[in-house]
Amino acid sequence: MIIKPVIQGVVAKSAHPLGCKQALINQINYVKSAPAIKDGPKRVLILGGSSGFGLAARIALTFGGAEADTISVSFEKPPGDGRTGSAGFYNDYYFKQFAQQHGRQAINIHGDAFSNQVKADVIEAIETYFEGEVDLIIYSVASGIRPDPDSDKVWRSSIKPMLEPVSGATLMLENDHWQPSRLEVATEQEASDTIKVMGGEDWEKWIDALINAESIAPGCQTLAFSYIGPDITHPIYLDGTLGRAKVDLHQTSHSLNLKLANFDGGAYAAVCKALVTKASVFIPGLSPYLIALYKVMKQKGTHEGCIEQMQRLFTTKLYSQNPVPVDGERLIRIDDLELDSDTQTQVKQLLAEMNSENFQQLGDYQGFKNEFLNLNGFGFDNIDYSQPIDTDMFIK
């Protein structure tokens, strides 16, 4: 089939395998040229390793100096029945090829990370490929729903404010429109359900399962990704249901840190920069902030994507200093360049001037959209998108 980009609102409905391959190549080339990770982990489990920060961490740890073998868990759709398959499916497919060419193990497990069966499959894979132990566990699961593996219950997250209604705009990638939106205050039940989906409970279940299976190596670390952002995003993020879930995640890192101390290890939440990911484009009101932030940080030469963030995280924070540098709440901060005071002053000025008529001129909307297209394998100049692709090849 000939694969073209299909976007509904802010959801990509198609993915191009050769473009996904090119995106991987670009990220691998970056980490190979960047300062190398020293004394990094050798056996890494990544929960949610097929896109975004999880994939970038997997690339950095394999090709960026640590020479790690990896197991990744992701919930991806293969091609079939006229569908192209998800970008994460092709990311896993090509990552495995590149890792093997590099002499590294790359195990892909496709399934529901919340399920008991996938936890059992991962423990078996650790026994088979990693001599029974892991050195690092990254929790990067991005999902809007969480099925309870022990019942028929399903929790659904809500992205809403908690203090007062919030008005903002969503940039509709489907038609390049500025769409005004108003979010009402969440109920306590919606907040509770969001914590269930996006908080730290499942992260803790994973660590407990690995401890019980004796799969934790001496010195093992675990890491989850978070976001706080500047005050301008707090009404929808930090002071909303997402913020409640992130606070729960941060608190979980403290309890896991005590558990892993028994193995001379540790647990951390890493606060990252705002970026275009499959998850972030869903957050109402965040996309205008993103295009303003991208414009300012690119002009200042401080912009980073997922791959730059992860390489810097491992080379300057997690594996460069002992003890690991953290703030007063024991968080690893890799959002320092975003929160630079001059950067935020310029971002606020842009946002004050921005509206539905001028957002493409004032902000870096084209960079925002190109990055979204790249996530799904589109927008690369060296790919001939008019050529048909045999998706059956990937199924075989």
Instruction: Using alpha carbons only, give the angle 58, 62, 66 rounded to the nearest 5 degrees.
Output: 115
> Cis link prior to 323 (omega < 30° from 0)?
yes
In the block, residue with structure tokens 């690995």 = 210
The residue type of 88 is G
Q: Is 365 a catalytic residue?
A: no
DSSP annotation string for 294-360: HHHHHHHT----HHHHHHHHIIIIITTSSSPP--TTS-EE--TTTT-HHHHHHHHHHHHH--TTTHH
Which residue of the set 139, 237, 268, 289 is catalytic?
237
Distance separating alpha carbons of residues 159 and 241, to the nearest angstrom = 6
Which tokens in the block code for residue 147? 């099925």
DSSP annotation string for 252-273: HHHHHHHHHHTTT-EEEEEEPP
**Cβ(107)–Cβ(99) under 8 Å?**
no
- Which of the residues are catalytic? 237
